[in-house]
Amino acid sequence: MDNSTAEPQSFTIHTASDDTAIEALKPLVFHSWYTGVLVSGLVILAAGALGNLITTLAYFKYEQLHSPTNILICSQSLGDLFTCVTGLLYAILSYTKVGQAMGSSHKYLCLVSIVITLMSLQSSIINILALSTERFIAVYFSYRYYNWVTETNAKRAVVVIWTVVICINGISIFAWNTWTPGLPCQTVNVYPQIFFQGYFIIPSLICMLICAIENSFIALMAVRKQRSIAAAVVVQNGDQQIEDANIRSGNQFKVTKMLLLVSGCFYAAWLPWIALNSLFFSLPSSWKKHGVHRGVLVAFEYSKPLVAANTIVNPFIYGWKNLLFRDAYYKLLGIKRNPI
């Protein structure tokens, strides 16, 4: 066998009725790179859990953080924290020999681990969409922003997000799954292709596309507004009302830049995993016959820790770009700051 189709024994094809279910990523052996994926994943999950726990506690403890934007940030942090906690079970079932044996023989242990992991991941995607939409309203409908984006409406949005995510992902536990004893506890072995792509991959791509469009328009408008603010300060420096409006617009611009950075990091972390997952659900015919290149398999497994790494980035961005979050972090960690 040549090196272009490494480890074809890791893939089999199973035919049932008129449908062909591709049992991709079926590890008949314990791959050498699994230990590296496990270790990197555990380190990332531990760091992400700590950062998002601090962010969540900061919001609930300090009243100065209570705002519609920060409600959505808190929801995003809860989703990331949920990802870190549930990711631990998934990592054990996927990248340890004992975990693989348990996942392939205990149906509901496998189903629950995958469902709660995807539930947390999907909540992160929809929360990013909510944050992008909130910024879009702030930039393009600034005069109506404070009427439309209230704390009550933000809380309602959070409830709707989590209700939708739980309902969609809960379906597979009770009815819509293809779990089979003896197969690895992986999404390709547990979910029908139409369910995973129709209810997770395609909606995720749609959310990310909408976010990309919104953020592109936000970036263009934010640059224009920043220039107009600078000009207004020079011309109307003596008018207190104009000055207050400029300060408020400037603060909104800072929040916008922060959330644009959050969205950019989100895309960088998620796109490789989504692309490779879609690829494995529709394998090229040559891969079905000869197997998948080892490099593609390794890239797919390491794309999962990359997704988890996004949970570490957000708390750092909030602390770096947002003075209120930074002060809250220092207080929670007991760090004394020297006055400037």
Nearest in space to 257 (alpha carbons), one of 135, 149, 140: 135
pLDDT of residue 189: 82
pLDDT of residue 248: 53
**HSE on the CB side for 57, CA within 13 Å?**
13
pLDDT band at 45 (very low <50, low <70, confident <90, very high): very high
Nearest in space to 190 (alpha carbons), one of 214, 174, 172, 204: 172
Q: What angle do CA 188, 190, 193 make, to 5 degrees?
A: 50
- Return d(Cα 141, Cα 311) in angstroms, integer: 30
Q: What angle do CA 152, 150, 254 make, to 5 degrees?
A: 135
Residues 29-38 have pLDDT tens digits of: 567 888 899 9
pLDDT of residue 19: 39
Q: Higher pLDDT residue, 187 or 57?
A: 57
Which tokens hold the place of 83?
A: 């990802």
- Return d(Cα 293, Cα 290) in angstroms, integer: 9
Residues 256-280 have pLDDT tens digits of: 777 778 888 888 888 888 888 777 7
pLDDT of residue 263: 81
DSSP letter at 169 equals: H
Mean per-residue pLDDT over the chain, rounded: 79
pLDDT of residue 133: 92
| Percent of the chain topping pLDDT 70 | 77
- Return d(Cα 93, Cα 95) in angstroms, integer: 6
Q: What is the dihedral of CA 169, 121, 40, 306, to 10 degrees?
A: 130
- Return d(Cα 137, Cα 132) in angstroms, integer: 9
Would you say residue 5 has pLDDT above 70? no
pLDDT of residue 174: 76
pLDDT of residue 17: 35
Would you say residue 40 has pLDDT above 80? yes
**Residue 81: alpha-carbon gap to chain centroid:** 11
Note the pTM of the prediction, 2 decimals.
Answer: 0.77
Instruction: Give the amino acid at 336.
Output: K
Domains and CATH numbers, the chain: 8-333 (1.20.1070.10)
- Return d(Cα 171, Cα 319) in angstroms, integer: 38
pLDDT band at 28 (very low <50, low <70, confident <90, very high): very low
Give the residues across from 22 on adjacent strands: 13
**Cα–Cα distances in angstroms (integers) from residue 191 to residues 9, 53, 154, in the given order:** 22, 31, 33
> Which range, 149-158, 213-222, 282-291, 323-332, has the best average confidence (pLDDT)?
149-158
- Return d(Cα 177, Cα 114) in angstroms, integer: 11
| Percent of the chain topping pLDDT 90 | 21
Residues 183-201 have pLDDT tens digits of: 888 887 888 878 877 888 8
List, as one string, the DSSP characters of 174-202: HTS----TTS-S-HHHHS-HHHHIIIIIH
Would you say residue 240 has pLDDT above 60? no
